[in-house]
Amino acid sequence: MRSPVTAPSQGELQRQNDFMLKIKAINDQKEKRPRFMINTFGCQMNAHDSEKLDGMLRQMGYEPCDDEKDADFIIYNTCCVRENAENKVYGNLGYLKHAKKDNPDMKIALCGCMMQQPTVIETIRKKYRHVDIVFGTFNIYKLPELIYTNIESASPVFDIWDKHADIVEDLPTVRKFKYKASVNIMFGCNNFCSYCIVPYVRGRERSRRPEDIIAEVKALAADGVKEVMLLGQNVNSYGRGLEEEISFAELLRRVNEIEGIERIRFMTSHPKDLSDELISAMADCKKVCNHIHLPFQAGSNEILKRMNRRYTKEHYLELVDKIRAAIPDIAITTDIIIGFPGETEKDVEETIDVVKKARFNGAFTFIYSKRTGTPAAEMPNQVPEAEAKKNFDKLLEAVNPIVYELNQKKVGNTYKVLVDGVSSDPLFVTGRTEDNTLVHFKGCSELIGDIINVKITDCKTFYLIGEQV
Ligand code: 5AD
Ligand code: SF4
């Protein structure tokens, strides 16, 4: 069923609270608390949505568990940016059909970007009838009502909206980390890069009001959070459509004033909207980390044009120079797509040329994945998989030695590392420098959440090795 879009308000939040209480009362009566597990695919936006699902489930009297085998309630928070993420979900759902036979009370819920595609919903209705609850990206706050409806009706509940309603503030959230947190500053995307499904499944761009963001960050700081990650598909266009005229640079300056917060990160920046004002704000604000993720996607101007990226290779490289001139020790990371329709050897060379000139500290590299409904899916000259794979390997051969070289330059220096967790070797912990480089050093779990001075003694391509000083 595609529901009409009713605008949720804070009254709506109260309504969901009532459903939460009803479900909690049901769960309180059970001999054993039902256990839940959330399996999250995709980006940080999804990871943050899962924290909200987690918060709501706990308030409803469910208990978390780490293994699907033990779970009575399983949620897949899905991604559809590339096909393999979708295939994984279908594969897992096949397996869950058998698991549900062993535990007939098991409930399976699906949500997230993949569910915003009508063909996916059709497939689930036809082939995956063991799924109990399906919802999309615009109505996660309705989870309590959907669970309640499913219990009451004893039949599957599908609730997919095709556009957003108002932004619902103050959902209960359980943060994965005590000392760091993500904060949505905006939702959706208006850019329509021709390969990308996100604008179709996350809707139009809308920004949260600065006072709501500031209040959330202040509350996080009061709760012991040291590092915040400001999240949006394109943070550089933050503020459009808000009553108050405010830019992302101004928002950064305001967040920088909040006592208790020690590190500020943000994701993702679109090169076409990156302003001088933002570069100055980054340089001025002490708490804003010296790292920027600035996807360039492709080096060929012809490909960039057909990707609808609205900048050129030259403009991108100029930006990189400008950023480095203002913030000399900044780390720049990027996203690159190989195998976009019509890509030639020469185009790949242009991409590699950007890699060599920009000298990235890290790159997420992807093989183009055809997404039905996007303009690129209809373009001629789709690149054969074998060719894309070959070019992908060539790209990595250009990216990795530079990353290694930049890491090597850090050996001998001391950096502040925010410790995240215990490493695979239990004698070591891992953490991030301000420029977001991963560091391993000897230490125990008590250090998690602390900012420690670490002298770098050695490095690999993807991490540094050091010792506490
Ligand atoms: N195929 C491959 N990679 C993609 N991305 C987005 N859409 C696609 C696609 N269809 C990549 C882009 C983006 C990152 C989040 O995912 O590089 O920056
Ligand atoms: Fe997709 Fe482009 Fe929007 Fe990023 S900016 S989410 S790549 S459409």
Q: Cβ(202) to ligand 1 under 6 A?
A: no
Is 124 touching ligand 2 by the criterion CB < 6 Å?
no
Any atom of ligand 1 within 6 Å of the Cβ of 81: yes
pLDDT value of residue 3: 35
To the nearest 10°, the Cα dihedral for 368, 374, 375, 376? 10
Spatial separation of the C-alpha atoms in residues 453 and 464, rounded to whole Å = 13
Residue nearest to ligand 2 atom 4, measured at CA: 233
Q: What is the pLDDT of residue 13?
A: 85
Q: Domains of the chain, with CATH numbers? A: 9-159 (3.40.50.12160), 176-289 (3.30.750.210), 297-318+332-409 (3.30.750.200), 414-468 (2.40.50.140)
Ligand 2 center to 304 CA (angstroms) = 13
Separation of alpha carbons 441 and 131, rounded Å: 44
Ligand 2 neighbourhood includes 199 CB (under 6 angstroms): yes
Our mutation pick for probing the ligand 2 site, out of 189, 204, 368, counting the most ligand atoms within 8 A of Cβ, is 189
Task: Flag residues of the chain having pLDDT under 50.
Answer: 1-7
Which atom from ligand 2 is nearest to the alpha carbon of 309? 2
Q: What is the pLDDT of residue 169?
A: 65
Q: How many Å lie between the centroid of ligand 2 and the Cα of residue 261?
A: 29
Residue 371, ligand 1, Cβ within 6 A: yes
Q: pTM score, two decimals?
A: 0.92
CA of residue 402 to ligand 1 center, whole Å: 22
Per-residue pLDDT, 176: 84
Ligand 2 pocket, 191 CB below 6 A? yes
